[in-house]
Amino acid sequence: MLLGNNMAGRGPIVEKYSHLALQYDTRWSFYVEATTNATIARLLLPPTGRVLDVGCGTGALLQKLGRRFPYLTLVGVDPVPEMLAVARGKVPPDVELCEGWAEDLPFRDNTFDTVVSCSMFHYVQQPVTALVEMSRVLRPGGQLLITDWCGDYLTCRVCDLWHRLFSPAHIQVYRERECRRLLKEAGYPQADIECYKINWFWGMMTAKVIKEEVKEKWGITMKFHTE
């Protein structure tokens, strides 16, 4: 469940998770189960509609969404082909899986009713660019929801420091105030952010915004993908 931006930063992400893909769900079973459940519990989903999972990884969140909301149209995007291959074996055949990066999503403008990401934002090298891209593909009135580690918890700050020193794929864990600043820079002046723990170690943060609240402060020219 990962993403980065420039070419220099993409190599470590793909290299790391291409090797971990087959063991990812087993190695991080508690974390995957707890974070995907926490994310779904905070989603407000219509009975039908299109949902994009950015940094879908091995498809754990898509698999659960498909089981609980069978009438949704589900799409996942991830930069690591090996992770997508694992996801393909778990999700229904009608779930579309695409290779791509958060900062350059391969979808048309206003395509999805909900855009969600779970445990990938600390891999993004240009977070504001990624947030703007997520807004671009989201329909007016649609919901953007992001779950990730929360730097307001000491254990996560220690983990963040360790990964910055020893894991080239890792970029940064954000505190609540930093998350609000990034969302505001991307054009979301209001955000619902909840910080919570899934066990004694892992502190998480889920941010929710609605596209209706976005102001066109950037003068963005929307990209129009044809594929």
DSSP per-residue letters across 150-199? BTTSHHHHHHHHHHHHH-TT----B-HHHHHHHHHHTT----EEEEEESS
- Beta-bridged to residue 144, according to DSSP, are 115, 209
In this predicted structure, which of 39-43, 65-69, 99-103, 211-215 has the lowest mean pLDDT? 211-215
Nearest Cα neighbor of 122 from 91, 98, 94, 157 is 157
What ranges in the chain are assigned the alpha helix state H?
Answer: 7-20, 24-27, 29-41, 60-68, 81-88, 127-137, 154-166, 176-185
pLDDT interval class at 224 (50, 70, 90): very low
Q: What is the reported pTM?
A: 0.90
Angle CA(200)–CA(203)–CA(209) in degrees, nearest 5?
A: 150
Q: What is the mean pLDDT of residues 113-125?
A: 97
pLDDT interval class at 217 (50, 70, 90): very low
Domain boundaries, the chain: 7-211
Q: Is a pLDDT exceeding 50 seen at residue 106?
A: yes
Q: Are strands 203-210 and 138-149 parallel, antiparallel or unpaired?
A: antiparallel
Q: Which two tokens stand for residue 227?
A: 């594929």
Average pLDDT, the chain: 90
Residues 173-187: pLDDT tens digits?
Answer: 999 999 999 999 999
Q: Is a pLDDT exceeding 60 seen at residue 139?
A: yes
pLDDT interval class at 10 (50, 70, 90): low
pLDDT at 149: 98
How far apart are the C-alpha atoms of 39 and 141, rounded to whole Å?
19
Classified by CATH at the fold level, domain 7-211 comes out as Rossmann fold (3.40.50)
